[in-house]
A and B are shown apart, each in its own frame.
Chain A
Amino acid sequence: MQLEQMYQEIILDHYRSPHGSGLKDPYDAESQQINPTCGDEIVLRVKLDDAGEKVLDVSHETLGCSISQASASVLTDLVVGQTVEESMKVLAAFQEMAQGRGKVEPDEDVLGDAVAFAGVAKYPARVKCALLGWMAFKDAVVRVQDGKVEA
């Protein structure tokens, strides 16, 4: 059965009790992302430090499948407390793995629990599910930074 390759225990754990779930205040920027093929939706908020260099908090509300919910949960664990620069490196590594069609060897030092999503990369139709939260995070960070430049 190939199912367990995709739905690894770590993913199912995060799906059953997602971290960062439930939108929180205060926050600096919010991003809504939609997967137009299935209608799944995430709203994600980020709070950075005053210098805009460190991720203080991430919260989200995800209406979606197990993969999109677990991915947003793992994201929360991986980026909160990191510098924005580090979090973007994790994001790049996650995206490379997710879009790698199963041919990219994930770096556990960078990705931590997120290596569990390596199996998803073999199912092209599910890659968008795995990336939904990460795209929201990226968009929200850009919004904070743009806001700070304008201010």
Chain B
Amino acid sequence: MTTAQAPAGAGLAGLDPAALRPDFAILSRTVRDGRPLVYLDSGATSQRPRQVLDAERDFLEQHNSAVHRGAHQLAEEATDAYESARARIATFVGADPDELVFVKNATEGINLVAYAMSNSSIRTGLGPESERFALGPGDEIVVTELEHHANLVPWQELCRRTGATLRWYSVTDEGRIDLDSLELSERTKVVAFAHQSNVLGSVAPVEELVARARAVGALVVLDACQSVPHLPVDLRALDVDFAVFSGHKMLGPSGVGVLYGRTELLAAMPPFLTGGSMIELVRLEGSTYAPPPQRFEAGVPMTSQAVGLGAAVDYLTAIGMQNVHAHEMELTRVALDTLREVPGVRIIGPDSLEARGGTVAFVVDGVHAHDVGQVLDDRGIAVRVGHHCAWPLHRRFGVAATVRASFHVYTTVDEVAQLADGVRAARDFFGVS
């Protein structure tokens, strides 16, 4: 088993993106007629360092086998690699390994919880322990107006199937969850919200939301997709019941994500996908199920991806998440300061560094986000344009689409400074200067 090589740009003195960049081969390519790539779309998907690619390749060339079955040497090594990745990822987010379920991505993780609740709500053939996940007419699921569709649509569907009602906290003009906009009730069974908005960058007041949910006995589901890759996150300290995040947003592979669930909750929760691997005893008349996390990992799981995510977590740990966050806040400061200087630019979300992460969304008066994105692309700058899977949030701000710049460890101050120049060029091109 190869040990992941520590990145060169890591250290107590902070983070040096220039020293890390050689690990990311893709960053040295050119786009659109030879322009250097300026990748400001890490919120959609991050790039992977060679340490992650090497870990995947090493697994496939040396240890590849189906995990949790077979008694041969490769099966043992593959299972060890898979479970070792789980353990390191668990440490990374302050959880126990058995509290982490490997899923395809965060979307699948949220659906897993929603469908387990759906299965509990049918109330036939399950044990009494599943009753706490059951929903019916009159019960409430609470989300916020800023959610990514992944943390909204599965709850809408769960409401449709169970007769429960969906309610939401609205969002303030500054892009914060408006805690005064909704009172939870004794019928609130789930409170689901994003730790950090994938559009606005605003970080939710987790402690307050958890306290309110606890006061009415509701389960808390945290969408940690935009926090775990960028901030130090201790899920147990946050005291949430469930959390999800995706590998590809944290320098890891696509096709692997994580559902975290508190031990006693996972132990009581019925399965979502069923089949091989997740069973305890199978008879033709019926089956019993393995304890978590296996209960929620039906079929042969993704393996090289899980191993790759383990390597990504090693890479981030070596850099230090405090350093990652500090670096991204510096980039955000530069982005806000330079964009503010461009006439006609309106920041959507907090125009300060308080309770905020490294995602900056904006609109440009008189130039549609698509057109801004096209001009930026012509200069080699990759940003996201559109509603970023948060359509209700865009409606809230009265815009169809925004431009979003997002960062990671390899993003440089110089790259971020190019953004404002590109926006100026877009205004010139479309004649709104």
B368 lies within 8 A of chain A by Cβ: yes
Question: A6: which of B374, B394, B401, B431 is its contact (CB, 8 Å)?
Answer: B374
Asked whether, in the complex, the Cβ of A65 is within 8 Å of the Cβ of B429, the reply is no
Once A2-B32, A2-B33, A38-B385 are accepted as A-B contacts, the answer to whether A67 and B370 lie under 8 Å apart by CB is yes
Which residues of the partner chain B approach A37 to less than 8 Å between Cβ atoms?
386
Residues of A64-83 whose CB lies within 8 A of B: 64-67
A126 cross-chain contacts in B, Cβ below 8 A:
370, 374
Which residue of A is nearest B378, CB measured? A3
Chain A CB within 8 A of B369 CB: yes
Say yes or no for B413: interface residue by CB 8 A criterion.
no
What residues of chain B lie closer than 8 Å to A129, measured between beta carbons? Answer: 370
Could you say which residues of chain B place their CB within 8 Å of the CB of A64?
368, 370, 400
Q: Are A65 and B391 in contact, with the CB atoms below 8 A?
A: no
Residue of B nearest to A7 (CB): B429
Q: Is A30 at the interface (CB under 8 A from chain B)?
A: no
Does B336 sit within 8 A of A, measured CB to CB?
A: no
A2 to B33, CA, bound (A): 8
Given the contacts A2-B378, A63-B400, A39 and B391 also touching, CB distance less than 8 Å:
yes
State the Cβ distance, B326 to closest chain A Cβ, in Å: 33
State whether the Cβ of A57 lies closer than 8 Å to any Cβ in chain B.
no
- The smallest C-beta distance from A135 to any residue of chain B, in angstroms, reads 17
Scan B366-407; emit 1 where CB is below 8 A from any A CB, else 0.
001111001100100000011100010010000011000000
The residue of chain B having its C-beta at the shortest distance from the C-beta of A1 within the complex is B378
Instruction: Quote the shortest CB–CB distance from A39 to chain B (angstroms).
Output: 4
Contact A38 B430 (CB under 8 A): no
Given A37-B386, A38-B387, A41-B400, A65-B370 contact (CB < 8 Å):
yes
1/0 per residue A110-135: CB within 8 Å of B?
Answer: 00000000000001001001000000
- B400/A40 in contact, CB under 8 A: yes
Q: How many positions in chain B have a CB within 8 Å of any CB in the partner chain?
A: 19
A12 to B400, CA, bound (A): 20
Are A38 and B371 also in contact (CB < 8 A) when A1-B378, A2-B378 are?
Answer: no
A102 to B369, CA, bound (A): 24
**Nearest residue in B to A64 (C-beta to C-beta)?**
B368
User: Which chain A residues border B391 with CB–CB below 8 Å?
Assistant: 39
Complex Cα–Cα for A66 and B429 (A): 12
Distance between B431 CB and nearest chain A CB, rounded to angstroms: 8
Asked whether A39 lies within 8 Å of B378 as measured between CB atoms, the reply is no
Expressed in whole angstroms, the Cα–Cα distance for A7 and B401 within the complex equals 20
Complex contacts, A39 vs chain B, CB 8 Å: 386-387, 391, 394, 400-401
Cβ-defined contact, A38 with B369, below 8 A: yes
Q: Is the CB of A3 within 8 A of B375?
A: yes
Name which residue of chain B comes closest to A16, CB basis. B431
User: Which residue of chain B is the closest to A67 with respect to CB atoms?
Assistant: B370
Chain B positions within 8 Å of A1 at CB level:
378
Does A65 lie within 8 Å of B33, measured CB to CB? no
A12 to B431, CA, bound (A): 10
Chain B residue with minimal CB distance to A15?
Answer: B430
Cβ B400 vs Cβ A38 within 8 A: yes
Contacts of B370 on A, CB cut-off 8 Å? 38, 40, 64-67, 126, 129
Chain B hits for A123, CB < 8 A: 374
Asked if A3 contacts B429 (CB within 8 A), the reply is yes
Closest to A69 in B: B368
Indicate with 1 or 0, residue by residue over A28-52, a CB within 8 angstroms of chain B CB atoms.
0000000001111100000000000
Q: Which residues on the A side are within 8 Å of B371 (C-beta)?
A: 65-67
A9 and B286 CA atoms in complex are apart in Å by 69
Q: Select one of B375, B386, B429 contacting A38, CB under 8 A.
A: B386
Interface centre among A1, A38, A40, by most chain B C-beta atoms within 10 angstroms, is: A38
**Residue in B32, B391, B400 with the greatest tally of chain A CB atoms within 10 Å:** B400
* Chain B CB within 10 A, most for which of A16, A41, A65: A65
Complex: how many Å from CA A12 to CA B429? 10
Chain A residues with Cβ below 8 Å from B400 are 38-41, 63-64
Give 1 or 0 for each of B139-172: 1 = CB within 8 Å of chain A CB.
0000000000000000000000000000000000
- How far apart are the CA atoms of A63 and B33 in the complex, in Å? 31
Please name the residue on chain A nearest to B372 by beta carbon: A65
* 9 A-B pairs with the lowest CB-CB distances in the bound complex, closest first: A65-B370, A65-B368, A38-B386, A39-B387, A39-B400, A3-B378, A38-B401, A66-B371, A65-B371
Task: Write 5 A-B pairs (CB below 8 A) sorted by A numbering.
Answer: A3-B429, A7-B429, A39-B394, A66-B371, A129-B370
Interface residues of A (CB under 8 A from B): 1-3, 6-7, 12, 16, 37-41, 63-67, 123, 126, 129
Contacts A2-B378, A3-B375, A38-B385 given; 5 further ones with Cβ under 8 A?
Answer: A3-B378, A6-B374, A16-B431, A38-B401, A65-B370
